[in-house]
Amino acid sequence: MGRIETAEVGADNLNRLSSLDALATTVRVFDSNVIPGNLRTPNYSAAVIHAAHPKLPHYEVRRRVLIKEERARAFLRRTFDEQLIGAWFVIGERAITRCIDMEDEGNMHALQLRHLLMLATHAKISIQVMPEKVVTPALAEQFALYGMDDDQRVGYVETIMGSWYSTRLDDVAKLHSTFSDIVREAMSPDSTQRFIREVLASWRSAKNESPELTEDSRSSSAPSRPQATTALESPERAPRRPMEP
C-alpha cells in the first residue's frame, strides 16, 4: 500500500478503521485531546463529532455515532478472541479532565470515565494517561499503529485536513518508536486508574457542593484533584503487570 492520503474523515474512513480493527493482532493508539474511538461511549462520540464538525447535520452525526458504536462493540468482542494479542492506549491528561459538553452538568463525561475504568480491567487492554506537564515525544498529537498476523504494520494519522494510512517501513518504525517513548513517559496502568477515580471524585464533590451550576462551575475542566478518593474508589486490586507494547 505504501502511503495513502485520504480527505475523507467521515463514515467511509470509519469503515476503513473498522476493517483494520478486524484484522489487527495488536493495536496501539495515542490521542492527546480526546478519548480514542474504540473506548468511547455513544454520547461521548456524539459530543466529539459535534465539536469537530459543528456544521454537520444531526442525521449525519447520528449515522457516524452508530458506526463508531458498532466499531467499539466489535473491538470489545475481539478482546475475547485469541487472535488479538493486546491493545495499548495512551490518552492525554486533558482528555480525562476536560468535559467536551457541559450541558448535562458533566454526567456524560463521568459515564465515559467510568467506562474507561471498566475497560482498564480487561487483561488485553492497557490504558495509560500522559501527564499534561510532560512534553509528548515527537510532539505527537494523535496516531494509531495496527499490527497484522503477517508481520505487516499499518500506521494511521488523522488531521483536520484528512487522514494518512501508511505501510512504509520508515513510517511505521517511527510510529512504533514514538509510541514506545510515549508509554515510558505516561502514568502506569494502575496509576492511571487511580487518577481517573480522583477526577471522578472531584466532579462528584463539585456537584454536591454546588446544586445549581454557576458560570464558574461550567468550566470545561474538572476541579482540582483531591488528595484521596472517596466512595467511587473500588477496593485496590493487586497491581496488574503491564503488557509489553
Label residue 36 by pLDDT band (50, 70, 90).
very high
Which helix (H) or strand (E) element contains residue 4? strand 3-6
Mean per-residue pLDDT, 87-113: 91
Interval 160-170: pLDDT, tens: 777 889 999 99
Mean per-residue pLDDT, 144-169: 90
The single residue listed with the C-alpha cell 512504509 is 168
156-183 b/e (C-beta count within 10 Å ≥ 16 → b): bbbeeeebbbbbeeebbebbbebbeebb
* Sequence-separated (6 or more) residues with CB below 8 Å from residue 75: 21, 27, 38, 87
Residue 172 has pLDDT above 90, yes or no: yes
Residue 241 has a pLDDT of: 52
Q: What cell numbers appear for 82 in the block?
A: 485469541
| 150/210: higher pLDDT | 150
At residue 219, the 3 state secondary structure works out as: coil
The distance of Cα 61 from the centroid of its chain, to the nearest Å, equals 19
| 75/245: higher pLDDT | 75
Residue 1 has a pLDDT of: 58
Residue 89 has a pLDDT of: 98
Rounded to whole angstroms, how far apart are CA atoms 28 and 126? 10
Residue 5 has a pLDDT of: 53
The domain ranges of the chain are: 3-218
Residue 126 has a pLDDT of: 98
The architecture of the domain spanning 3-218 is 2-Layer Sandwich (3.30)
Q: What cell numbers appear for 187 in the block?
A: 502514568
User: Whole-model pTM?
Assistant: 0.81
Please calculate the CA angle 120-45-136 and round it to the nearest 5 degrees.
60
Label residue 189 by pLDDT band (50, 70, 90).
very high
Rounded to whole angstroms, how far apart are CA atoms 241 and 90? 16
- Lowest model confidence (mean pLDDT) among 28-42, 124-138, 180-194, 209-223: 209-223
Q: What percent of the chain has pLDDT over 90?
A: 62
Give the closest residue to 69 by CA, choosing from 36, 37, 35, 26: 37
Residue 39 has pLDDT above 90, yes or no: yes
Residue 12 has a pLDDT of: 75
Rounded to whole angstroms, how far apart are CA atoms 220 and 222? 7
State the chain's mean pLDDT as an integer.
83
The distance of Cα 176 from the centroid of its chain, to the nearest Å, equals 18
Residue 223 has pLDDT above 50, yes or no: no
Please calculate the CA angle 40-20-183 and round it to the nearest 5 degrees.
60
Interval 40-53: pLDDT, tens: 999 999 999 999 88
Label residue 219 by pLDDT band (50, 70, 90).
very low
Residue 122 has a pLDDT of: 93
Q: What cell numbers appear for 126 in the block?
A: 492497557
Residue 134 has pLDDT above 90, yes or no: yes
